[in-house]
Chains A and B, each alone.
Chain A
Amino acid sequence: MYVAAKGGEAAIDNAHRLLAEMRRGDPAVPDLSVAQIREQMRLLVDRVMTEGSLHDPDLAALALKQARGDVVEAVFLVRAYRTTLPRFGASEPVETGAMTVSRRVSATFKDLPGGQVLGPTFDYTHRLIDFALAAGELPEPAAETEPGPDAGHCPRVTDILGEAGLLEPSPPEAGAPVGDLTREPVDYPADRAVRLQALARGDEGFVLALGYSTQRGYGRTHPFVGEIRYGEVELEMVPEELGFPVPLGRVPMTECQMLNQFRGSGAAPPQFTRGYGLVFGQCERKAMAMALVDRALRAAELGEAVSAPAQDQEFVLAHCDSLQATGFVEHLKLPHYVDFQAELELVRRLRAAHEAAISSAGEPVREAAE
């Protein structure tokens, strides 16, 4: 006998309790502290902050703990929290040229002012599982070096190339306030600032795959890594009552300047164009992929044919956000009884009509086209 299902409340409560217990895992194993996640899962914390659009390593670490390590879920927690935070102003643009670099590599010049600095990277590690790590062995201390003569002076490659006119200049300061896609809905066609915001918040996997697709011929841009730099930048803000910039603190960021070929047009001589990526922390893969997609999205502006997915801003911007994507995909778990009932009724009616047609004609109905 069917009784209208009751008890949704109890079921939800019980599911949450079970989830909390599963999150904790075996109680004989010590509880993971937020500080441990923040310090030892740093790249994960960086990713959650980047895609969560909120710089707060402790909060991101806590979100990861609460989300059982599910990145998208942790991003979700951070974004929902961000919604409730008051917005008291906007910072000045960060000066990445003045970054205290921990890592800085260029693929376009063997040496350049400021030098090549490998810094903390997996790049030249051999990917061999390190069983000593499982035994809890402490690492060797990092090497110390005297700062070189040009330390502290690390001009961006784009500024070096720009002087000779080989590279398109930075777009002029428009003076108009920069759009904010968390405060205004995206209005297509979106300008570059809004597109970059969307890409910075976008899912790393999605942006990576799109960037990769441009390397395989779907919107090819002939990219070179002009420079990747990772380090701390100063954040400044101009409070209205003071009228001059005051420092807010330092934030670690990764910036990628991709240089791309451009054959020129009737109006413009051939020169290199740019794709740009900027993220919190050391999300280097994301910064590179972002720069590739940014450049691909400039196709129309540069007079290139728009034919590949990575060049199509409605396709890219509407689908790069992991929360929008996961929410809508996972909503399919919700009940759809009444719509399904409507479709069920339709299919039954169509089948009945089909059967009736067959029995009255004595042979299968012929399609109009046959």
Chain B
Amino acid sequence: MSAAAPLPEPGYNFAYLDEGTKRMIRRAILKAIAIPGYQVPFASREMPMPYGWGTGGVQVTAAVLGRSDVLKVIDQGADDTTNAVSIRRFFGRTAGVATTTHTSEATLIQTRHRIPETPLSEGQILVYQVPIPEPLRFLEPRETETRQLHALAEYGLMHVKLYEDIARHGHIATTYAYPVEVAGRYVMDPSPTPKFDNPKMDGCPALQLFGAGREKRIYAVPPHTRVRSLDFEDHPFRIQSFDRPCALCGAEAVYLDEVVLDDRGGRMFVCSDTDHCEGRRAEGHTGEMAE
């Protein structure tokens, strides 16, 4: 479903930001692409939505968006969550670009917390909204310190944290925002996507851009770049698995949302990626609770 492009909002530049600001952001993006996984400081602007609600992603999208782009916005994997609706509308109003919910039709996808199930292809751009870009932040609160740790590639703190998980729980207890090493150098926060999505970042043919508005950082994973989730030889990285398929489309090996049906313990599990689920149902796949 592609929506026709409405007229852009009068009184504002294409995609809200002025061209000087876009150029500044594009420079940061180019630097980020040149140094995969490195957090590039940028002069983040105040946007008409709150910090923490996707201002970094919105600025990155505004900077790379062209008139012929087809935009998809998802939150929690779904196109119809309120914040995704709000951001899609924002670009509908200020840029007048075409929007879609289909992953394969989109040239630019802005996301919060998920990577689409449909594999991305060359020429697509995936823009992540990032709350805390610094993977070491909760281990070391000071920017002056973490910057040095990155410069020296001193990631012992992170390994100690993962090791302590294993010592305490028998396995690594980080389930989302699971740290990755990019192109064999920088340790990077993949944004709070569940670790289920980490393998999709590795060697991905699409360009992955990360925008953190409040923290004023941009970073990137260029296409076909090695992204390795940190682990240990005797405790290899493992993703979540669900012991049942999607109740609506029967998909397996996808990330599921748990939906509470009643107050007597009734539950069902459905695809978090709504476009993927709808596509499968249109192809005739059904799950146990499909009507």
Contact A326 B50 (CB under 8 A): yes
Residue among B143, B255, B270 making CB contact with A2, cutoff 8 Å: B270
Q: Flag if A86 contacts B18 (CB, 8 Å).
A: yes
Is B176 interfacial (CB 8 A cutoff)? yes
By secondary structure, the A interface counts as helix
- The distance in angstroms between the C-alpha atoms of A189 and B75, with both chains bound, is 35
* SS class, residues of chain B in contact with chain A: loop
Query: Chain B contact residues (Cβ within 8 angstroms of A): what range?
Result: 35 or more
B52 partner residues in chain A, CB cutoff 8 A: 327-331
Contacts A4-B274, A185-B44: A330 and B113 contacting too (C-beta < 8 A)? no
Does residue A136 face the partner (Cβ distance < 8 Å to B)?
no
| B252 interfacial by beta-carbon distance below 8 Å | no
Measured CB to CB, the nearest residue on chain A to B28 is A185
Per the 8 Å Cβ criterion, residues 248-291 of B in contact with A are 248, 255-259, 261, 268, 270, 272, 274, 277, 289, 291
Q: Mark B214-226, 1 if CB is under 8 A from A, else 0.
A: 1011000000000
- A contact residues, total (Cβ < 8 Å): 49
Q: Is the CB of A314 within 8 A of B75?
A: no
Expressed in whole angstroms, the Cα–Cα distance for A9 and B88 within the complex equals 10
User: A1-18 toward B: CB 8 Å interface, digit per residue (1/0)?
Assistant: 110111111011000000
- Report chain A residues within 8 Å CB of B112: 334
The reply to whether the CB of B51 lies closer than 8 angstroms to some CB of chain A is: yes
Given A186-B216, A328-B52, A331-B50: A9 and B176 interface contact (C-beta under 8 Å): no
A5 to B51 CA separation, bound complex (whole angstroms) = 26
Give the residues from 87 to 107 in chain B that come closer than 8 angstroms, CB to CB, to chain A: 89
Q: Is A350 an interface residue (CB 8 A)?
A: yes
Binds A, one of B29-37, B182-190, B192-200: B192-200
Q: How far is the CB of B267 from chain A (nearest CB, A)?
A: 10
Tell me the bound Cα distance from A128 to B50 in angstroms.
39
Which residues of A line the B interface, CB within 8 A?
1-2, 4-9, 11-12, 76, 79-80, 82-84, 86, 182-189, 314, 318, 323-324, 326-331, 334-339, 341-346, 350, 353
Complex A-B, nearest 8 residue pairs according to Cβ-Cβ distance, in ascending order: A327-B51, A331-B52, A342-B175, A327-B50, A185-B216, A328-B52, A79-B46, A185-B41
